[in-house]
Amino acid sequence: MQQFKSLADLLDLQDVDSQIDRLLHERSNLPALEAYKKAHKAHEKANATLAQLTADQKETSLTLDKHEGELELFEGKIDAHEQRLFAGGLSARDAEHMRLDVASLKKRRSTMEDDVLALLDTNEELEQAVAKATEVAASAEATMKTHEVEVAEAWKRIDGEIARKESRKGAIVPLIDADILELYESLRRHKEGVGAARLADGICGGCHLTLSAAEQLEVLSDEPPRCLHCRRILVV
């Protein structure tokens, strides 16, 4: 009779353990958790893109400043040459020489101006790209935080349920024979979390296979009774 009592408690324990297993499975397989992981990756990627574009834009801006400075100095040089020519007083040979110099400098200035314009274009494109990447990163962060909150709320609920089940389990375990408990835990590890099952209408609740009347008699004479097919502990 004591054995019967102990085995009935074992089914209660199996029930609670299965519920805890389901909760743990739910905890690590939340759709929100998957969404959070994806959003976290997207956020990291968006931040990396933003950092790269910001660095590129900064570098282009510095290069642009340098080129604009050089162009300004160059223009000053051309102005000085032209003023000198305009002021007169040069020999024909020197004046001709300076005119050729100015023509050559102006040609070079034209190339420098093209460079500055190209840099202005690139800089503007990069500024726009940085602005867009900033929006993308902010949106990715918001999405990530939304899922983070969802996960935290779901985990809080699940952890609360697990704590209640654990407390119930704590009350059942002392009622069960230590050897039976050890066998049950070992079976659970190897048989998808099910170590004990009900034998009803000759069918094992663990593997769902049928035991003949003779097999049932044989099984029930064992202590504890165990399914001939799956070796789980059977509770009548």
Q: Which of 42, 85, 112, 230 binds Zn ion (CB under 5 A)?
A: 230
Q: Quick one: 42 or 207, whose CB is closer to Zn ion?
A: 207
User: What radius of gyration, in Å, describes the C-alpha atoms of the chain?
Assistant: 41
The distance of closest approach from Cβ of residue 181 to Zn ion in the complex, given in angstroms and rounded to an integer, is: 19
Query: Cβ of residue 32: shortest distance to Zn ion, in angstroms?
Result: 37
Cβ 210 to Zn ion shortest distance, Å: 10
Sheet of 233-235: strands edge to edge?
203-204, 196-200, 233-235
Shortest separation between residue 17's beta carbon and Zn ion, angstroms: 17
* Cβ closest to Zn ion, residue 11 vs residue 207: 207
> Would you call 132 helix, strand, or coil by DSSP?
helix
CB of 197 to Zn ion, least distance (A): 6
Residue 235 as a binder of Zn ion (CB under 5 A): the answer is no
Shorter beta-carbon distance to Zn ion: residue 133 or 224: 224
* Helix residue ranges per DSSP H, the chain: 2-28, 31-87, 92-172, 178-190, 213-220
Using the rule CB under 5 A, is 229 a contact of Zn ion? yes
* Integer Cα distance of 225 and 183 in angstroms: 12
Q: Shortest Cβ distance from residue 199 to Zn ion (Å)? A: 9
The residues that bridge with 197 in the sheet, in sequence order, are: 234
The answer to whether 208 and 45 have CB atoms below 8 angstroms apart is: no
Footprint of Zn ion on residues 189-208 (CB under 5 A)?
Answer: 204, 206-207
Is residue 205 within 8 Å of residue 14, measured between CB atoms?
no
Question: Is the bond preceding 224 in cis, omega lying within 30 degrees of 0?
Answer: yes
If one asks whether residue 225 binds Zn ion (CB under 5 A), the answer comes out as no
Within residues 111-150, the interface with Zn ion by CB under 5 A covers none
Return the number of the residue (133 or 196) whose C-beta is nearest Zn ion: 196
Size of the site for Zn ion (CB under 5 A): 6
Task: Return d(Cα 199, Cα 35) in angstroms, integer.
Answer: 42
Q: Which residues bind Zn ion (CB under 5 A)?
A: 204, 206-207, 227, 229-230
